[in-house]
Chains A and B, each alone.
Chain A
Amino acid sequence: MTAAAVAVERLEKTLGTNKVLRGVSFEAKPGEIFGLLGPNGAGKTTTLRIICTLLSPDAGTVEVMGFGTRKAPEEVRRRIGVVTADIGVYPRLSARENIEYLGRLCGLFGGELTRRVDGVMERLDMGSFAKQRAESLSSGQKQKVAIARAIVHDPDVLMFDEPTSNLDVLASKEVREFMVEAKGRGKCVIFSTHVMHDAERLCDHMTILHHGRVIASGSTDEVRGGRRDLEDSFLALVEAN
């Protein structure tokens, strides 16, 4: 049995007076796209932020490639790349400089950095705007910069938090294709979304969150549970909970 790339166990988290997570557990393996689904406010983003060490859990544990987020947060961050819907790029740096900056902070230097940056830019077809300042890029181009800097250090785990919500159809398609490609290269891809259609097409396994609780978990077929599509199943589960 393949060891989990990401193992989340009984996570609990309160933000302010709002109990956001109430014992969330799941495992995501290398070479699969794992869906983290749920309506807005279900706790998806908080879960991802705990996995990538930006937030600390009140209770429960997270391990990424065998490293605990509490004991070895820097080792965890070395092994993950995150792409979010809020595409924050440094406006006065060029597309290439944005990627190089984050690459350096991940420990890449000299020839290795150049090779990696060239590689991700080629893979994402960014040559035409590499030297352009990020402030003048389109949303799709900015999203490519965000993906490139998330993968420049070749992480084992890639997390996508609603990555297509601000993108047009073409840019969204490219992001989806990239996730499939990453899965093909043996990466563990965690895909957080409330778009059931995307999840059904892409995910191998998934967990559905609602009000901070896991209400369904398993393979895509198992979660669909014989219904016409995942959306029907999702609506039924949410209404039942």
Chain B
Amino acid sequence: MLPAWIVYRKELLEIVRDRRTLMAIGLAALVTPLVLIVVSQVSTRTATQTYTIGYSGEIPVGLDILLRATGLKLVTVADPSEAAKHEVDLGVAFLPAQIDEYFDPNRQSAQIADVRLQTVLGQYDAAQAAAALKSRGIDPGILTPMRLVSHPLSSPVQAASNAFLSFFLPYILITMILTGGFSAALDSSAGERERRTVESLLLTPAPRIQVLLGKIAAITTISLVAAVAAIGSMFVALTQIAIPGPGGSAGHIVLSPAAAPVMIWLALLIAMSFSALTLALGTLAKSFRQGQAYVTPLYFITILPASLILFIPDFNPSLAYYLIPILNAVLVLRDAIVHNTVAWPALGVTTISLLATGALSWFAAFRLFAREALLTRS
């Protein structure tokens, strides 16, 4: 039996008996769907919520009906500009030749109400113009000499589903891989040193490279288990969330076929790289607590740039961006989810980048694990 396999089995046994790791995985599996359900309910409520317009003056005929139908409630106020500060979401003064609108851009409710008002006014203006032309015997079609006919290439429900997944899935995948193996990596390195078991381990004839290999394999396994638990529970939760489609239809969020294998491949690469990296950092530490201080910044360093990219819509990076570990995984996964295709050059560069990161981390972990200071510094 290979020493690496012996170490792997023992590490896994210790991990499954460790409450900290099990709690982290269990919490992730519970919290992920909970967050998604809350997000879904909040967005549904935002979409169907009624906002209040405080107005003065005479409302043009028929406009009040359109506004109420769009979820805008009308109340009369003495001063719309004052009312818009706190009392109502939007202040509107209907004057003979214009409409003055007052809103606070710092308030999200005001922004939504503003968008709704603009939409309704646009429709109202178009209807009024069409009616005026018609009364003069002119075809209202002259208002739209180039009529736009939209032909969506994929279903709007699938597009919404893809947008949702491209935002959440990479984030959850990377977070869970990092945090799932976090405790196990520290326990296996700094913890082993703190408990003084590292000496008895290194006293066996097992080659150190094999001992390290067994440890990294065990941490990789538990990282992947954590990611699978979180993503699995996320998809179970998503079966309960319906996305409204055109004509009152509704659909569920599903992962595009191209994204699934890409996700698995990336998860494996990230888990292997980060297991070695966290183990190396843990080996530098003299205690579990010190290890936490070393490893925690790693999480922010890696996840923050990747998260920021998710907030930049239509970010089309050059191939060079795919050399940046983690960011490249987020971009490749996002492309696979949104476009249901695999951009092979990007995936190739990403794979090389993550493998190189992994190899460097393994080398660093081995050098640190083999140094004398591991035993002499206490």
Contacts and interface: CB of A to CB of B under 8 A. Distances in A.
A80 B207 contact: no
Contact of B204 (A75, A93, A97, A106): A106
Nearest to B6: A104
A101 B202 contact: no
A95 B202 CA distance: 19
B206 interface: yes
A1 interface: no
Contacts, number: 72
B204 A55 contact: no
Given A88-B196, A88-B200, A93-B10, A78 B205 contact: yes
Interface string B1-26: 10100110010011001100000000
Interface in B185-205: 195-205
Contact of B205 (A82, A86, A97, A105): A105
Nearest to B198: A88
A127 B206 CA distance: 28
A86 B196 contact: yes
Interface in A73-100: 74-75, 77-78, 80, 82, 84, 86-93, 97
A105 B204 contact: yes
Contact of A101 (B10, B196, B199, B203): B10
B17 A101 contact: no
Given A105-B6, A106-B204, A92 B18 contact: yes
B318 interface: no
Nearest to B191: A91
B197 A105 contact: no
B1 A49 contact: no
Contacts of B201: 102, 105
A74 B202 contact: no
A102 B200 contact: yes
A15 interface: yes
Contacts of A226: none
A52 B6 contact: no
Interface string B137-176: 0000000000000000000000000000000000000000
A107 interface: yes
A144 to B, nearest CB: 14
B14 A93 contact: yes
B1 A109 contact: yes
Contacts of A91: 195
A107 B207 CA distance: 12
A15, A93, A104: which has the most chain B beta carbons within 10 Å? A104
B204 A102 contact: yes
A88 B196 CA distance: 5
A88 B195 contact: yes
Interface in B202-260: 202-207
A134 to B, nearest CB: 10
B198, B202, B204: which has the most chain A beta carbons within 10 Å? B204
Contact of A56 (B7, B10, B207, B372): B372
Interface in A145-170: 146, 149-150
Interface of A: 15, 49, 52, 54-56, 74-75, 77-78, 80, 82, 84, 86-93, 97, 101-102, 104-107, 109, 146, 149-150
25 contacts: A49-B375, A52-B203, A54-B199, A54-B203, A55-B376, A75-B205, A77-B203, A77-B204, A82-B199, A82-B203, A88-B195, A88-B197, A88-B199, A90-B10, A90-B14, A93-B10, A93-B13, A102-B201, A104-B1, A105-B3, A105-B6, A105-B7, A105-B204, A106-B205, A109-B1
Given A15-B376, A54-B202, 10 more contacts: A55-B376, A74-B205, A78-B205, A88-B197, A91-B195, A101-B6, A102-B200, A102-B204, A105-B7, A105-B201
